[in-house]
Structure 1
């Protein structure tokens, strides 16, 4: 089994904090998710997460005007410069302070960052594709530093010519700065607001400035004569001119205040978000209201407008909501929300295309693996969901909850069609489904019995007694003959529930059972216990075959309040979940620590150790604590400093003593842990539910480039030369694969003549076959060249079919993608052919007439007017001239000659 799993994607969370960004073309949205950045492709309905990770949660994002350089800054001011198309982190840098605002100049040559109340302007690092320079050795060079504000700067906006920029601050003012010293210009302060200024913007002609404050006041500023100057003053003299208020407008939202605002100069649209979850759209300078809509129950934390002004993106951090609204059609382009509480359990669908997540918030979400979006959310459970499992065919999902119910969900119609309950109120914690889908079993923390229901009737069939402690885990063998249960009474029991006598055979262990898993061949079970042991048992002989002491492997991570070091903390020294791989050779285990361990079953060797998170915003990610952060009152991170805030709303304390969740939660830090893991049915990926979201690790991550596979002669220019001048299509394709730039591969692929496809495929090295199949599948799904793509598929399969069959273990995902595309093309062609058959039958069934000795069919389409589009002879829509002599007399009847 291959074990080189790499981080592939992050699902389960779509927005956490910070600002959102649209790409320059307006088709993709960048969102900070914890200490990572996710990119949502709104046109192709796909999302992916950039592979780098910050040491703390991301606070600010900025993208250069060309869209190829992303600057992301975390809460400590540490920045990562990323090449977005290649998904490569180029440079790490520290601003040495919290960055509250960040923006690139429209020219792309500079960017401004505010560190508290100080603004710094830096030169943008150049890239090799820029004509005016090569890569610098020290990419970050400070241009100028600006001081003058008395409180944190909240936004920075550049003028369209990149000569000036506006800053809005909590000190109730906005200021105008120049990038370089200008003749006759001095930094200007514009005041007049009574609360913190949320945003300030230039109009398109830069003759007007708009400022919005937290209390809902919009001030319009223009460059005019000083109020204390006489009427005959010289208007051309800049000393007699100043920025003055020409108009005032107010947003009437009762007790709500403005939390974010965005302005689009081209369309003059002002979008404001409020603390009550409402946003409004106004057209300036008239301040005419266009729309008002409620999209959340909490604060709207950020709003951004795309380049064309058609799409508005909103982020609400408290509930993890991300929305993209098309205001002209009044419809959602994107509407996603993560789990409010931590995930408890996950499950892969049998086809590997969907992942189910269930959490303490009572919600069950279905995620599409390919697109990364949530398809549907079930909210019928009224308490935390603790277990979920698919029926064998994958159309039915079963979930267990602490609300005392087991629910069955139809994933074809997305509805709850059956609910199972016990005679007494129980909180179910474990679940198992018979492979036939006829019987389900559930265990509870309140009762020591195992309850069995019939799926068809919903009736309780039996209660299995024998355990002397709460049942913590259940699993059915894949052959359906045995039910395995683990309990806190230190025993694992094997039940034959379909036999004449329901016997159980106990397996005695030394500690509480946390999780059990059964191998796909039904011959072995893996058991994790509270003392940190991972043991393997033979089902047929009921004896232990091997064991692993996993305490040293799983332990790691010290919480802020721990008195002991990470190596001595007892709470992290056991696995709480374990799963077998698809081929049964490995097991994957996770627990209340930051590590996921992959073990080889036969040898008991630790094959690989995955670190879930390095985010210092979570507890348990550090091995050693910083003693400087420990004060007499306790750890500095747990001291409530809200009483020192300047805003009254932030100082207000509404918490309830001892409450950990809800409106009255006390100040706690989230802890890193892995409640559940799951292997993909194909064995090419696995997912893990963590504090930060649903992490997907895959063998099929996008290959960037292999430096050992490159030499100095392989460049995009040389590849195009080989393609256009030498006409060596095979060599050009291999060079493009080595560079692995998708636009370049597509250009070589589409430039290959159809007559040469078989020759190219015949001699292509087998090392590139997997990537070629993956690329063909992607092209067949996106490009309109139907026959061309099918010719490539036919050539690859006919020439290398035997090799693909012999190496199918490493190419299952690629072959599956090609098969899916071919099936889709087949169904669409069949549907199109059926429609054409009916249309031809209709045309052939029309009445016949004789004109001038010729038998014709007459189709009455009405009189053809000038400028109307007619129907051409080939049946394709065309202009009136294409009708030809079929309607020579102009009576609107078209004649088909036979």
Structure 2
């Protein structure tokens, strides 16, 4: 089995803090999620997370106007310059201070950054083909110092909150908390002096130029909107006014009347004169300027709206709320949501894959169960039936039924076809369930609790409690059914693992004695082995048939890592991280995945006990437990600096006030929100073995074998070039051309060769195809079937592959399960589309046949004669011609 898994996507978190940025075409939205950036494709309904990560949470992002360079800055001012399309980090740089605003010039040659009350303008590093505006830089040339500071502007007396460039990139506006906005020029301009726009009573949030740059709009925190124009004094004589008397003056004032709510964000679209404002009560307003006519007012959140962004066409508005982790994209003209996503409010507790592998289910302390689509990365449904934290979730192998256990004392069953809860299981007394296991047939569900020592078993059909398995002398921490349904394995804090025969006549159990409290148990796919993790960091493997220990390993050194800010000991000696709290077998049972309350995920070989890979979940210093060594300068007389609540010293009153109601929050009330601990409460392998996911503090992290857009050549030599491949294709050597395209691993070239092979040559090419290329060939056919219009060609390829290599695909199911599932999904999609088109055509034909047609004179004559009309023959002969030549006359009859 391949073990070179790479990070591919981050689900479960859609927005943390910072600003949202649209791409130039307006189809993609960039959102900062912790220390990473996620890209949401709003047209194709997909999302992906960029592979590079900061050491702190990201505060500001900016995208170059040509769409190639992405600049991200974290809370401490560390910047990463990356290539957006290729997803590669190009350069790391420190701006030496927290950044409050960041903006590229429209021509792309400079970018402005606000560092407190200071503004700095830097030259944009050149990229190949992106240095049109820089005459002194060579296009595509390498730079020794990519970041060159161009100018520095110091005149504000408080933090600069917003920077806006003019359309010609000669001037820019800055808005500050010192109640003023200022106009700056990039280069010295003749007759221009930096101008101060003063008149607001609270901090100015933003300032913008109009489309013709004749008007400036400024908006402040108290909801005041000022219009500035270049005018003479209002009481001056028009005939005696000179150019020296004209200056920027307030020509109009407007106010947003929001009681007990302040303006938190605003955005302006100059070409359409649309102003969007968000407030601290979750309300946003849409106005058209300069008339200040209100277009929309809508409440979209229960907390502050932190940021708003408008795409280039002015149609889509993106809103982000960090308190609840919400991300919304709203089309204001049609008043409809393009995107509406929200992550878990509290930390996740468990996760599981669906049997088909295309869904991931997560549950958290906020009482919500979310279903995530692995292909798109979006949450497709959220269940809120539980009234307290959900601790465990498990799928039934047959049917789309999900079972969850919660601290509210209930176990629920959800139908994932109709998306509803259809069964609720409860115990005779109120218990907080912490573990769950489902029989493979889906007929029996078992749950364990930390409040009781019994294992409760219910019937799914009737919902009745069938039995309470007693035998443990401590709380039940983990449950797992064998995949063949023969045994139920339970682990407890009484240092035993018991194997139950649930369907036998006698409810006997065989205890397996451990050396410490049992934290987690997992059963291998062949139902012959169980993996047990204990509190002392040992991972042991037991035979279920013989009840004896087979192998074991010490994982304390592997899993321990990361020192919390309250630890008195070093990371190597801390006891809290030296055990595994979650285990998962791979689909073939050769490796086991283990995670715990640390920043590491370990991948072990079951047979040899060797550590195959060690994955670091996060390097984010905003989380507790990611550092190996603590900085002594962060220790104060009051304790660690990270635990000191500094909100009471905030300059704004609403930031100092805590408006949350006591007892109204779900989850752990004592859980830290400012600096949560890094941990891995759940891991799971996909059914294909090509990916695994981990529930972490950062979110739902997906690691995959197919995560790369990188260049990955296969059996490459000097003669294999794109030119030689095309020439080989022209010489009608189709198999060789296809193999050369596979070796180059170029998707456009492979697709071109695939579509150029004649249909009559497909069986011969497939018959001679080496087995080593079979997986790539199947993957290519499956992807082409989903997106290309060549329906018959794709089906011919697929039929030839299955006829010729069907035996290989059956014998090596573990290697080809993923691509076979892709092909099956593509065929099912094609079948559905063809049936839909056929149904539409049949309905259209029935409709056309049912339409009336004009009745001829002969038909009327026959009809009248059949009715016994003796004068029908004479009248019809006289008026035959006239009636036949007239338009719009005659009788209409239906088609038989």
Q: Normalization by structure 1: what TM-score?
A: 0.89
1:97 matched residue in structure 2: 97
Give the Cα separation in 2 of the matches to 1:467 and 1:750: 64
Give the conservation status (yes or no) of the 8 Å contact 2:714–2:743: no
Select which of 358, 363, 366 maps to 2:363. 358
Match of residue 884 from structure 1: none
Change (3 A) 1:764 1:268: farther
For the 8 Å contact 2:725–2:740, the answer to whether it is kept is: no
The aligned length equals 863
For the residues of structure 2 that align with 1:249 and 1:532, how far apart are their CA atoms?
A: 65
1:812 aligned residue (801, 806, 817): 817
Partners of 1:229 and 1:240 within 8 A in 2: no
Residues 158 and 164 in structure 1, CA contact (< 8 A), matched pair in contact too: yes
2:404·2:413 contact (CA, 8 Å) conserved in 1? yes
**1:51-100 deviation digits (Å, cap 9, x = unpaired):** 11111111111111121221111111111122222111122111111111
**Which residue in 2 is equivalent to 1:556?**
561
Separation in 2, partners of 1:471, 1:24: 55
Give the 3 Å change call, closer, same or farther, for CA 241–892 of structure 1 in structure 2.
farther
My pick for the range that moved more, 703-712 or 641-650, is 703-712
Q: Distance in 2 between matches of 1:760 and 1:573?
A: 55
Match of 1:246 among 224, 242, 251: 251
2:57 aligned residue? 57
User: Is 1:314 matched up with 2:298?
Assistant: no
Matched, 1:25 2:25: yes
The 1:646/1:614 distance shift into structure 2, 3 A limit, reads same
Matched-pair contact (CA < 8 Å) for 1:269–1:282: yes
Distance 2:547 2:804 in 1: 50
Structure 1 equivalent of residue 594 of structure 2: 589
The Cα of 1:678 is off from its aligned counterpart by 0.7
1:181 aligns with 2:188: yes
Is the aligned partner of 1:34 residue 2:34?
yes
Q: Distance in 1 between matches of 2:498 and 2:518?
A: 11
The answer to whether residue 780 in structure 2 is matched with residue 786 in structure 1 is no
Q: Does 1:200 align with 2:207?
A: yes
> Does the 8 Å CA contact 2:850/2:894 hold for their aligned counterparts?
no
Q: Equivalent of 1:702, from 689, 700, 708? A: 708
Native 8 Å contact 1:67 1:84 kept in 2: yes
Is the Cα–Cα contact under 8 Å of residues 405 and 420 in structure 1 kept in the other structure? yes
For the aligned residue pairs, the C-alpha RMSD in angstroms reads 3.3
Gaps of 5+ in 2: 133-138, 860-883
Change (3 A) 1:713 1:320: farther
Q: Is the 8 A contact 1:587 1:598 kept in 2?
A: yes
**Would the alpha carbon gap of residues 715 and 540 (structure 1) be closer, same or farther in structure 2, given more than 3 Å must change?**
closer
Is 1:684 the counterpart of 2:654? The answer is no
Within a 5 Å distance, the mapping from 1:488-503 to structure 2 comes to 488-503=493-508
Q: Deviations over 1:624-679 (max 9, x none)?
A: 01112222222222223334332222233668999997899777520000001111
Change (3 A) 1:505 1:796: closer
**Structure 1 residue ranges without an equivalent (≥5):** 855-886
SS in structure 2 opposite 1:355? strand
TM-score, length of structure 2 as denominator length: 0.90
Contact 2:305 2:320 in 1 (8 A): yes
Q: How far apart, CA to CA, are the structure 2 residues paired with 1:125 and 1:785?
A: 43
Q: Which of 335, 340, 345 lines up with 2:340 in the alignment?
A: 335
Cα distance, 1:344–1:232 mapped onto 2, change above 3 Å: same
Contact 1:655 1:666 in 2 (8 A): no
Please give the per-residue CA displacement for 1:432-491, whole angstroms capped at 9, x wherever unaligned. Answer: 111121111111111111111111111111111111111111111111121111111111
Q: Which residue of 1 aligns with 2:175?
A: 168
Distance 1:155 1:738, change over 3 A: farther
User: Which residue does 2:878 correspond to in 1?
Assistant: none
CA contact (8 A) 1:157 1:201 kept: yes
In 2 relative to 1, CA 145–833 (structure 1 residues): closer, same or farther, beyond 3 Å? Answer: same
- Offset of residue 245 of structure 1: 0.6
Paired residue for 1:265? 270
CA gap of 1:758–1:584, structure 2 versus 1, over 3 A, is closer
Residue in 2 that maps onto 1:14: 14
Structure 1 residue 216: Cα displacement: 0.4
Contact 1:387 1:400 in 2 (8 A): yes
Tell me the residue number matched to 1:673.
Answer: 679
**Among 144, 147, 163, which residue is 1:156 paired with?**
163
Residue 220 of structure 2: which of 207, 213, 226 is its match? 213
In the TM superposition, what is the alpha-carbon distance from 1:736 to its structure 2 partner?
7.1
Match of 1:530 in 2: 535
Q: How does 1:352-431 map to 2 (within 5 A)?
A: 352-431=357-436
- Determine the C-alpha separation between the residues in 2 that align with 1:196 and 1:308: 30
Q: Flag the 1:765–1:87 CA change in 2: closer, same or farther, 3 A.
A: farther
Deviations 1:11-32 (A, max 9, x none): 1111000011111111111111
Kindly indicate whether residue 149 of structure 2 is the aligned counterpart of residue 142 of structure 1. Answer: yes
Q: Is the 8 A contact 2:496 2:514 kept in 1?
A: yes
Question: Using the alignment, how far apart are the partners of 1:545 and 1:452 within structure 2?
Answer: 29
In the TM superposition, what are the counterparts of 1:813-852 in structure 2 within 5 Å? 813-840=818-845
Q: 1:458 aligns with which of 456, 463, 477?
A: 463
SS at match of 1:15: coil
Instruction: Tell me the residue number matched to 1:877.
Output: none
Q: Distance in 1 between matches of 2:573 and 2:182?
A: 54
Question: In structure 1, what is the Cα distance between the partners aligned to 2:733 and 2:889?
Answer: 55
